[in-house]
């Protein structure tokens, strides 16, 4: 999805989405790829494998918060 698509879907300001995407890329939770249809708007893809790894690593923390 493009940042604009994400912004519209979750009803957040584009700057907020851009900031969040930079943070997610820093944690390697998403990847930025060129959009061949419109090079001005890159596409972002979630790295589901990395998300699973982090979830497994911190699952005990999630359980404690939910209790």
**pLDDT tens string 2-31:** 999 999 999 999 999 999 999 999 999 999
Residue 39 C-alpha from the chain's centroid? 20
Amino acid 44: pLDDT: 97
Angle, in degrees to the nearest 10, between helices 59-66 and 48-57: 60
pLDDT tens sequence across 25-46: 999 999 999 999 999 999 999 9
Q: Are strands 43-46 and 30-33 parallel, antiparallel or unpaired?
A: antiparallel
Q: State the residue range of the domain holding 28.
A: 3-66
Collect all residues with Cβ–Cβ distance below 8 Å to 60 and sequence separation of at least 6. Answer: none
Q: How many domains does the chain have?
A: 1
pLDDT at 60 over 90: no
Give the confidence band of 67 by pLDDT, cuts at 50, 70, 90: low
Residue of higher predicted confidence among 25 and 65: 25
d(CA 33, CA 63): 34
């Amino acid at each position: 999805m493009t940042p604009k698509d994400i912004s519209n879907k979750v009803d957040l300001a584009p700057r907020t989405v851009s900031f969040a995407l930079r943070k997610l890329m820093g944690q390697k939770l998403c990847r930025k790829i060129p959009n061949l249809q419109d090079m001005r708007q890159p596409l972002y893809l979630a790295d589901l494998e990395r998300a699973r790894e982090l979830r497994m690593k911190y699952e005990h923390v999630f359980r404690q918060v939910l209790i």
